[in-house]
């Protein structure tokens, strides 16, 4: 009977959730399955930042935040279940950390008028805010990443890639296929040869791809991998003695756990990034003090300062700043999803703001507008040092090829608008 | 007491050969239909439709399709995921090529297309059987997924290789796309499920079904008594493919709205549907429903109990789900190898004698 009462009381509480006027942030995380190694630190960072805001500042603008975690296992069907079960609770923003789930959610969030933030993943052409009103992918997207790789290689090779051969090892899914179009355009523009090598989910078997790399001898290898695929690829590259400094992963292929298993052989491996690395930021001291030491950390508290923890925290920070912007615009602390969308569209990230948060120079400065949901697309490069076990930023955030990307974004989003009969807004 | 033949007099052959000869059974069946068609659409919301009922209805269609092949005709197939992908991609191509045609027609055409593909991949069944046939259908699974990943024509040359369902309607009511109301998607799937179940039930009671079962029980004996194995096996593949194609089309267009072939229609899908058929009961239409309900609902129930009621961390609950579902599958296979349908059958036998067992 007692249990029944508690259950009743609990379900009553849950039903009354929206009325309690918390700021609700669903976290569609994956702590299980083949992609958990990347999902766990991201989810921890995302959760810890909101806990920090509650503990230190008493929420955002005086309203407490509430995190609803839902396990997707990187599976689209579970992702849909998670979306449907959380959207009724006053969800302000969705960040699924999965390109597959993003594709499902794009039409759904637009119909339900909830913003979707796919930071550095998802559908690249969502950068065109005229067509994708509720989808944001600032500060950088896959096509910025593809162009970032090429720009970095141009820079380190005297501005000339003619006759060079670049191999792309990619996860054979929507995620991995995204950069191909841009790389094809760029290969025509800069005269390098592109060799695309798909790796099937989950990516534990890559012998044939790396055999082909050994045979074709590309000058550079770039990788669009995630989960266990990254570790395997770096190990295989080490096995065929491919020079690590010529191997550049996208930002989802450059975390500590990806390179650790290859040991010293991974030394010199490079990865892109759109935010800073390391834990030399005052905000981490606050997290240590207010979250970890009070026992409220989402994980074991050992992930702080790792690449993906930082990214999860960065995602939470951008969401929290968008909430503040929305609160200013609408003059109310208690915002809903539609107001949140306005806040995201008016978001301005500058150095002053980041310094105030204890995250000075953590990410690029940018402004979001109604037309541009993609931000500036500044991409930096990090390199792994196996002896000190740290990533360091070796190339600062630099602009990418806006002409090529802009044309591709316009083409792809135009096709989407025609297919779904969307009339562009932002007049 | 209520559940018995006594007193229920049949005066015509039609009455004698009806699907539910016992009155109580018949009324229960009408009641289920009435609730499904007349009550649920009025109380349904987005969560119930998209998280629970749509996957149940669609997997039930797939399970009926596979049950015809494995349970009735005895042809083991591991290609269900690939055949569902055929349905999904055929539906997508028809939806984009002929946007003005009713969604109903698209789904039927997708089913027909899958039936053709299924027959082609069923041809080896005339020469090989058992495990060897399973391997041949496994090849179909991998080939089809590879094909849809490889040839850009199938996904209309989209940059990511994803297919997304545009908005399509039936008599002006939106069925696909994000703005489709929950009751419409539910009704659409329910109508297909009801039709499929009725067709399947009556096929398996008739000549074709009996020839399937004869082939299943002993193919040489069946041939001697005059069952044409070519016709029996290929019709089983065709009918099964038709149902599986319909479920694949609905899975893509009505339920998910966007799919990626490797993720949505991989080998795990083939196994999932096969487990539904095995747990539900081979050679039983009711078993297909029960198996689909078991494997769709159980994870959701465990999640709701673990996360929402008990407040456990999501990863622990996800791990428990695997443990509990796995353990239950083993328990069922040991305790009741003929599946949930057999439990139901035993319960009915007992009910007939209750409350005065002799």
Which CATH number does the domain housing residue A390 bear?
Answer: 3.40.50.2300
Residue among B177, B260, B314 minimizing CB distance to A69: B314
Using a CB-CB cut-off of 8 Å, the residues of chain B touching A81 are 50-51, 300, 303
Domain shared by A205 and A250, yes or no: yes
B110 CB contacts (<8 Å, ≥6 apart)? B86, B87, B88, B90, B91, B94, B245, B246, B248, B249
Is B258's CB within 8 Å of A104's CB? yes
Within a domain: residue A417?
Answer: no
Domain region containing A367: 16-140+279-376
> Do both A148 and A289 map to the same domain?
no
pLDDT-based confidence at A18, cuts 50/70/90?
very low
Q: Could you say which DSSP state residue A427 is in?
A: -
* Same domain (yes/no): A147, A262: yes
CB distance B160–A174 less than 8 Å? Answer: yes
Mean pLDDT over each residue of chain A, to the nearest integer? 89
Is A155 found in the same domain as A265?
Answer: yes
Regarding whether A370 and A298 lie in a shared domain, the answer is yes
User: Are A299 and A371 in the same domain?
Assistant: yes
pLDDT for res B1:
64
* Cross-chain Cβ contact A421/B55 below 8 Å: no
Burial class (CB in 10 A: 0-12, 13-18, 19+), A188: exposed
Q: Which DSSP string do the residues of B258-309 spell out, in sequence order? A: EE-HHHHSSHHHHHHHHHHHHHH-TT-HHHHHHHHHHHHHHHHHHHIIIIII
Structure tokens at A85: 């079960």
Is A248 or B23 the better-scoring residue by pLDDT? A248
Indicate the pLDDT class of residue A323, thresholds 50, 70 and 90: very high
Q: Which of B152, B162, B148, B156 is nearest to B96 (CA)?
A: B156
The residue among B97, B159, B162 with the most chain A CBs within 10 A of its CB, best to mutate, is B159
Query: How many structural domains comprise chain A?
Result: 2
List the single residue in B50, B96, B315 with the smallest CB-CB distance to A84: B50
Q: Do residues A150 and A197 share a domain?
A: yes
A418 is a domain residue = no
- Is A370 found in the same domain as A385? no
Per domain, the residue ranges of chain B are 47-266
CB contact under 8 A, B314 and A31: yes
Please name the member of B158, B309, B313 whose beta carbon is closest to the beta carbon of A7.
B309
Whether residue A284 lies inside any domain: the answer is yes
Tell me: do A153 and A100 sit in the same domain.
Answer: no
Residue A11 is assigned to a structural domain of this protein: no
- B169 φψ region: left (φ > 0), alpha (ψ -120 to 50), beta (else): beta
Angle at A99 between CA B179 and CA A230, to 5 degrees: 170
- Examine the pLDDT at B11 and tell me if it is beyond 70: yes
A342 and A268, same structural domain? no
Contact A31 B317 (CB under 8 A): no
Does a structural domain hold residue A148?
yes
Distance, in angstroms, between B166 CA and closest chain A CA? Answer: 6
Higher pLDDT, A14 or A220: A220
Q: B127: distance to nearest CA of chain A, Å?
A: 32
Task: Tell me if chain B has a CB within 8 Å of the CB of A227.
Answer: no
**Closest to B272 (Cα-Cα) out of B76, B143, B67, B80:** B80
Model confidence pLDDT, tens digit, residues A180-208: 989 999 999 999 999 999 998 888 899 99
Averaged pLDDT score across all residues of chain B: 91
The rounded distance, in Å, linking the Cα atoms of A364 and A409 is 21
Average pLDDT over residues A259-265: 92
Q: Sign (positive/negative) of CA torsion B77, B81, B84, B86?
A: negative
Q: What is the ipTM of this complex?
A: 0.88
Examine the domain organization and report whether A323 and A264 are in the same domain.
no
Are residues A174 and B260, on separate chains, in Cβ contact within 8 Å?
yes
Collect all residues of chain A within an 8 Å Cβ-Cβ radius of residue B54. Answer: none
d(CA A59, CA A347): 19
Stretch A45-72: mean pLDDT:
93
Inter-chain contacts counted by CB atoms under 8 A, chains A and B: 114
Collect all residues of chain B within an 8 Å Cβ-Cβ radius of residue A99: 160
Rounded mean pLDDT, B76-83 = 94
Distance in Å, alpha carbon of B231 to nearest chain A alpha carbon: 37
Question: Considering the domain boundaries, does residue A72 fall inside one?
Answer: yes
Predicted local confidence at residue B23, as pLDDT: 85
Which pair of tokens denotes residue A264?
């010293």
Q: Which of B166, B256, B319 sits opposite A32 (nearest CB)?
A: B319
**Position A169 in a domain:** yes
Best residue in B253, B263, B299, B316 to probe A by mutation, most A CBs within 10 Å? B263
Q: Which of A280, A301, A281, A277 is nearest to A290 (CA)?
A: A301
What would the mean pLDDT of B91-120 be, rounded to a whole number? 94
Is residue A269 located within the same domain as residue A388? yes
């Amino acid at each position: 009977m007692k249990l029944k009462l508690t259950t009743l009381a609990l379900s009553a509480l849950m039903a009354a959730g929206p009325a309690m006027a918390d700021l609700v942030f669903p976290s569609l995380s994956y702590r299980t399955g083949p992609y958990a190694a990347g999902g766990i630190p991201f989810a921890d960072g995302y959760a810890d930042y909101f806990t920090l805001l509650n503990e230190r500042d008493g929420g955002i603008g005086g309203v407490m935040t509430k995190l609803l975690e839902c396990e997707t296992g990187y599976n689209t069907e579970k992702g849909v279940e998670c979306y449907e079960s959380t959207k009724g609770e006053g969800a302000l923003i969705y960040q699924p950390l999965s390109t597959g789930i993003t594709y499902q959610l794009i039409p759904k969030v637009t119909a339900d008028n909830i913003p979707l933030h796919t930071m550095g993943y998802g559908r690249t052409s969502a950068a065109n805010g005229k067509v994708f009103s509720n989808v944001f992918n600032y500060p950088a997207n896959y096509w910025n990443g593809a162009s970032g790789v090429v720009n970095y290689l141009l820079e380190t090779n005297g501005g000339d890639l003619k006759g060079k051969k670049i191999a792309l090892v990619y996860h054979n899914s929507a995620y991995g296929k995204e950069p191909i179009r841009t790389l094809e355009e760029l290969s025509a523009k800069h005269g390098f040869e592109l060799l695309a090598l798909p790796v099937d989910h989950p990516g534990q078997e890559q012998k044939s791809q790396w055999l082909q790399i050994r045979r074709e001898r590309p000058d550079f290898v770039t990788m669009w991998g995630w989960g266990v695929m990254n570790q395997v690829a770096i190990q295989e590259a080490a096995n065929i003695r491919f020079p690590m400094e010529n191997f550049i992963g996208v930002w989802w292929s450059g975390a500590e756990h990806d390179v650790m298993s290859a040991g010293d052989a991974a030394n010199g491996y490079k990865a892109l990034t759109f935010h800073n690395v390391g834990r030399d930021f005052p905000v981490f001291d606050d997290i240590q003090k207010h979250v970890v030491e009070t026992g409220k950390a989402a994980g074991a508290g050992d992930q702080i300062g790792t690449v993906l923890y930082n990214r999860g925290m960065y995602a939470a920070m951008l969401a929290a700043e968008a909430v503040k912007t929305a609160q200013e615009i609408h003059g109310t602390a208690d915002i809903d999803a539609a107001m949140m969308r306005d806040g995201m569209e008016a978001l301005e990230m500058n150095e002053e703001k980041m310094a105030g948060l204890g995250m000075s120079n953590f990410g690029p400065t940018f402004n979001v507008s109604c037309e541009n949901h993609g931000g500036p697309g500044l991409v930096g490069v990090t390199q792994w040092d196996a002896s000190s076990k740290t990533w360091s930023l070796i190339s600062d955030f630099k602009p990418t090829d806006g002409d090529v990307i802009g044309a591709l974004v316009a083409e792809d989003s135009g096709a989407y608008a025609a297919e779904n009969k969307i009339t562009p807004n932002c007049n | 007491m209520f559940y018995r033949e006594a007193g229920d007099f049949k005066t015509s052959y039609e009455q004698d050969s009806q699907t539910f000869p016992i009155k109580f059974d018949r009324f229960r069946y009408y009641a289920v239909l009435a609730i499904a068609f007349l009550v649920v659409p009025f109380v349904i919301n987005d969560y119930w439709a998209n998280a629970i009922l749509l996957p149940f209805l669609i997997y039930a269609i797939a399970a009926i399709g596979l049950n015809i092949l494995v349970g009735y005709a005895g042809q083991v197939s591991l290609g269900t995921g690939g055949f569902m992908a055929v349905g999904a991609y055929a539906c997508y191509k028809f939806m984009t090529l002929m946007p003005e045609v009713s969604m109903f027609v698209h789904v039927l055409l997708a089913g027909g297309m899958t039936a053709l593909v299924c027959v082609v991949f069923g041809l080896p069944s005339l020469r090989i059987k058992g495990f060897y046939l399973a391997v041949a259908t496994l090849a179909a699974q991998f080939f089809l997924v590879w094909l849809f990943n490889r040839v850009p024509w199938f996904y209309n040359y989209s940059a990511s290789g994803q297919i997304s369902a545009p908005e399509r309607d039936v008599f002006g009511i939106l069925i696909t796309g994000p703005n489709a109301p929950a009751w419409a998607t539910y009704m659409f799937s329910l109508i297909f499920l009801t039709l499929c179940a009725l067709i399947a039930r009556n096929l398996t009671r008739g000549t074709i079904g009996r020839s399937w079962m004869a082939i299943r029980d002993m193919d040489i004996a069946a041939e001697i008594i005059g069952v044409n194995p070519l016709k029996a096996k290929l019709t089983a593949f065709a009918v099964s493919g038709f149902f599986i194609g319909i479920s694949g089309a609905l899975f893509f267009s009505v339920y998910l709205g966007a799919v990626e072939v490797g993720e949505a229609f991989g080998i795990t899908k083939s196994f999932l549907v096969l487990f539904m058929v095995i747990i539900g009961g081979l050679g039983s239409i009711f078993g297909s429903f029960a198996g689909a309900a078991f494997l769709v609902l159980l994870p959701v129930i465990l999640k709701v109990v673990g996360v929402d009621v008990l407040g456990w961390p999501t990863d622990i609950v996800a791990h428990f789900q695997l443990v509990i579902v796995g353990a239950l599958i083993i328990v069922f296979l040991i305790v009741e190898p003929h599946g949930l349908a057999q439990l139901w059958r035993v319960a009915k036998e007992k009910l007939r004698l209750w409350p005065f067992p002799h």
